[in-house]
Amino acid sequence: MEKLLKNGEVYFNTVEYFRKNDVGDYLRGDFAEGLKYSQLINFRSPSLEEFGIKFRNAKINGDTDISHLFSMYMVTSEFWEGKIHFDKRILEFGDYALIINPREFLEKVMKASKYEIKYGPAVYYKTPPIPISLNSFSKREEFKYQNEFRFVINSSSKKPIIIKIGDISDIATMIPTETLLKIEFLKN
């Protein structure tokens, strides 16, 4: 958190990292990360089947293994409309949260990057059945409480990528995460 706030280090890890680090960590890992629909009949994935999930027509998309992700929690208009509230599971993200001006943050990331970056909200899908087409923005519905906004870089690097955007303390502030549970959004 401090590295992001004070040094502006935006840390992108690989999709493969998030898929392989799901063992017991349902916060940062997702064993279905990078899954893509395929016409392969009776495809088997022992790592997925150990969770009791069997896909007849699915495969891991090798192209997404070289994608790199940076994810943020996103406050949407649904908060302002009173339709959703922060889920208490966000406390598991850590003791502190950064409140960031999204437009200025996005501009800084895009300006500092030497990579092509795609960005947008995660799209949550129900399992099963597997949708016909998944991509780096697809995420299982059980993670919907994370309200994720993703930045995606496609790179041949198997190592994390760090983009340095400089100190963002002028556009961000750090608060205790538990404070988010007490926030009330006022309708205009």
Query: Cis omega (within 30 of 0) on the bond before 131?
Result: no
> Does residue 48 lie within any of the structural domains?
no
> Does residue 57 lie within any of the structural domains?
no
> Does residue 54 lie within any of the structural domains?
no
> Does residue 92 lie within any of the structural domains?
yes
Separation CA 163–CA 182 (nearest Å):
33
Separation CA 162–CA 10 (nearest Å):
5
Q: Is the dihedral of CA 17, 19, 20, 26 positive or negative?
A: positive
Mean pLDDT of the chain: 78
Separation CA 162–CA 111 (nearest Å):
14
Number of domains in the chain: 1
* Confidence (pLDDT) at 75: 86
> Does residue 27 lie within any of the structural domains?
no
Tokens of 156: 């041949």
SS3 content of the chain, % helix, strand, coil (to 5): 30, 25, 45
Per residue in 28-84, pLDDT (tens digit) is 555 566 565 544 444 455 555 555 555 555 544 455 545 899 999 998 888 877 777
> Does residue 147 lie within any of the structural domains?
yes
> Does residue 39 lie within any of the structural domains?
no
* Confidence (pLDDT) at 34: 59
Quick one: average pLDDT of 115-125? Answer: 90
Range of the structural domain that residue 128 is part of: 2-14+66-180
> Does residue 156 lie within any of the structural domains?
yes
